[in-house]
Structure 1
Amino acid sequence: MNHLLAGLDKLHDFDEIIDVRTPMEYADDHIPGACNAPVLSNEERVLIGTMYKQVSPFEASRAGAALVARNIARHLETTFADRPQRWRPLVYCWRGGKRSGSMTLMFNMIGWRARQLDGGYKQYRRATLDALQTLPRALRYVVLTGPTGSGKTRLLHALRQAGAQTLDLEELAAHRGSLLGALPDAQQPTQKRFDTLLAARLREFDAHRPVYVEAESRKIGALELPAALLQAMHQGECIDVRCSRDDRTRFLQQDYARLFDNPDWLKAQLQRMVGLHSRDTIQGWIALVDEGRREDLARELIDRHYDPAYARSSRSHFTGLTQAMRVDFRPNDEDIAEQALALIRRRQ
């Protein structure tokens, strides 16, 4: 299985990908589609690591082998009890060492055609970072620009439903991109997980067709975009998405419904904006939340936060902005699908 990661499509040659690292390592990031069958639990790995340093490598190896054997036996009796004789799994751990080697050996002794991933997750991670430097440059981007509340994300979703290739960075990042962009019912993935999901998405695209993407800054919440992707987006074609102030106000009330429905959380997010705005201004916005005045709060945010921030932002790095096609978008209308189709036809 030499140079497996030189062509990541070869991962699909296996019936199943098995990550034998701890649940904590798996949650941090894993190969897309991999299932977690840890040969050491989070606590067991700490215990063996401590024993290795404080007692001796030999005692740690002996104790670790016993734990690994028991855990593999349990997986054979449960997780993998129904796998057929011709099953072909790919097994990996952190560096392609003892943990994945132990399970691979046991699988092959049973008669399954198991393979161990050379270099383990560490090598996969290196391949992911390499891919994020090369894949973005092979694609043509159509960047949706425009002030907050103009419905760029809604337009992006409509373009996807219309058959266009779209890259929804905010969906991958579980964040809407602004100071109020955090989702009250979802945590952002780790940086490693975001990188993996992004690389997987980029591999799906047809380089002969454009990729529609929303303009983003260097960071979405706590996550950082790859430099190569940002550079490629900055050099892409731009579409200036505009809509009326009334439409933006209505749209923000819908788009931020989850925030408005969780007033304590929303007020905590507004408090984080102290420094960008005076305490009196923030307290005024919090009062609007307490009074349920959603429309007034939406207008305040547009007039006193989003539009001034958009005016201050440097958009000079988008080289196609001066020739951008202007699109008057109506994000609250029922004909969003038709508007997206009209945009695709207009570009052709």
Structure 2
Amino acid sequence: MKFPEVVSVEQADQYEQVIDVRSPAEFALDHYPGAINCPVLDNEERIVVGTLYKQVSVFEAKKVGAALVARNIAKHLDEQFSKNPKEWTPLIYCWRGGNRSGAMTHILRQVGWRASQLDGGYKAFRRQVINELEILPGRFQWRVLSGETGSAKSRVLEGLAAAGAQVLDLEALACHKGSVLGILPDQPQPAQKMFETRIWDVLRKLDPARPVFVEAESKKVGQLRVPEHLFEQMTQHSTVFRIQASVAARVDFLIEDYHYFLADTDTLKQQLRHLVTLHGHEVIHHWCQQVDAAQWPELVGDLLVRHYDPAYLKSSNNLFTGFATAHPLPADKLDGPGIARLVDQLLNLQG
């Protein structure tokens, strides 16, 4: 295989390693899946060079920038790349495929590695993600897993994936459980662009000849929007399955699944107060009292009956065309064996 100096986004997967030379702040917002960050200008240095470019001159900016870039590339050569064999094939990109990635690509090729620069840089990659998210969702047969809050839908998806089924787990990709209490401890949600990149990366690897299981979601998972065309396919062009579990079974599951809230009652009460416009101060005060008294079964059951179940049924009926005729999946318990039985039901229904 030839490794030209400049290649397109479509050729990126042919490389052993993808290197993002943008600043750490740029990298954190979004990057090519699996890329490592080896900035040729860090956050502060990028600001300095940009300020010189705008306020002094292009020449002064390039003079200062070249020295910084050279020092940073030398550091990466010593600390990151020195043990790589001659056969190493890195793909380098920056924002537009310009000076930053060009400088590193040139030096790595001079060493003797088969390095290439991504034509158009991150911007070209981002355009591809946007374009393909308009196309890819329409290629699949969607199997939507619905069920009231606490029906263990995410656990069932995990079981399906472990059994070899194709799964798109939006909540895992969004680092959120999809409700007002869905925030995860010490796991902030990614940026919107990163969420879309993660979805794209899953979809492009799936087989269109096999169905894809996904959880019934609203238009947003936490603060992140589900891509429009994907949401349309999920809600309008899918087969819907509905887990049917009792309130008691769902209460037991939720107490176990949200165990971290039991140790952080201040955060739990803060999240509950977001519901005051829907339920009033008296109800919220009562729920906070239940938190203080550690009355978990009573609190969770009340939340399900008063808030989550009515909201879920209304939203699902409005959004999913197949919800009213969803295939029922009865579940007596939502423990390990119960979830395994739901997975087996779904796999058997898919042949």
- 1:41-80 counterparts in 2 under 5 A? 41-80=42-81
Aligned to 1:273: 275
SS at structure 2 position matched to 1:232: helix
Conserved? CA contact 1:184–1:265, under 8 Å: no
Aligned to 1:4: 8
SS at structure 2 position matched to 1:136: helix
What residue ranges of structure 1 are gaps of 5+ in the alignment?
Answer: none
Deviations 1:239-289 (A, max 9, x none): 011101110111111121112221111111111222121011111111111
Conserved? CA contact 1:154–1:331, under 8 Å: no
In 2, Cα distance between equivalents of 1:41 and 1:102: 15
1:257 to 256, 259, 278: 259
In 2, Cα distance between equivalents of 1:25 and 1:313: 36
Structure 1 residue 3, shift from structure 2 partner: 6.8
Deviations 1:38-63 (A, max 9, x none): 00010000011111111111111101
- 1:23-42 counterparts in 2 under 5 A? 23-42=24-43
Aligned to 2:248: 246
Structure 1 residue 340, shift from structure 2 partner: 1.1
Normalised by the length of structure 2, the TM-score is 0.95
Structure 1 residue 181, shift from structure 2 partner: 0.9
In 2, Cα distance between equivalents of 1:311 and 1:172: 24
Tell me which amino acid in the other structure corresponds to 2:113: W
Structure 1 residue 183, shift from structure 2 partner: 1.1
SS at structure 1 position matched to 2:255: helix
Aligned to 1:232: 233
In 2, Cα distance between equivalents of 1:291 and 1:175: 27
Conserved? CA contact 2:316–2:323, under 8 Å: no
Conserved? CA contact 1:18–1:35, under 8 Å: yes
Aligned to 1:211: 212
SS at structure 2 position matched to 1:31: coil
Aligned to 2:137: 136
Conserved? CA contact 2:138–2:233, under 8 Å: yes
In 2, Cα distance between equivalents of 1:151 and 1:101: 49
Deviations 1:277-304 (A, max 9, x none): 1011111111111111111110110111
Distance 1:66 1:3, change over 3 A: closer
Distance 1:103 1:157, change over 3 A: same
Tell me which amino acid in the other structure corresponds to 1:280: E
In 1, Cα distance between equivalents of 2:124 and 2:317: 37
Conserved? CA contact 1:168–1:214, under 8 Å: yes
- Number of aligned pairs? 345
1:332 aligns with 2:313: no
Conserved? CA contact 1:52–1:59, under 8 Å: yes
In 2, Cα distance between equivalents of 1:236 and 1:106: 51
Tell me which amino acid in the other structure corresponds to 1:209: R
1:288 aligns with 2:310: no
Deviations 1:113-150 (A, max 9, x none): 11110000010001011111111000111101121112
Deviations 1:13-42 (A, max 9, x none): 112111100011111111011111100010
Structure 1 residue 96, shift from structure 2 partner: 0.2
Aligned to 2:112: 111
Q: What percent of counterpart residues are identical?
A: 47
Distance 1:303 1:317, change over 3 A: closer
What residue ranges of structure 2 are gaps of 5+ in the alignment?
Answer: none
Conserved? CA contact 2:175–2:184, under 8 Å: yes
In 2, Cα distance between equivalents of 1:265 and 1:52: 45
In 2, Cα distance between equivalents of 1:314 and 1:243: 17
Aligned to 1:342: 345
Conserved? CA contact 1:165–1:212, under 8 Å: yes
Structure 1 residue 314, shift from structure 2 partner: 5.1
Structure 1 residue 180, shift from structure 2 partner: 0.9
SS at structure 2 position matched to 1:181: coil
Aligned to 1:159: 160
Structure 1 residue 333, shift from structure 2 partner: 5.0
SS at structure 1 position matched to 2:19: strand
Structure 1 residue 339, shift from structure 2 partner: 3.1
In 2, Cα distance between equivalents of 1:186 and 1:333: 25
Normalised by the length of structure 1, the TM-score is 0.96
1:305 aligns with 2:307: yes
Distance 1:311 1:339, change over 3 A: closer
In 2, Cα distance between equivalents of 1:339 and 1:215: 16
- 1:166-177 counterparts in 2 under 5 A? 166-177=167-178
RMSD: 1.4
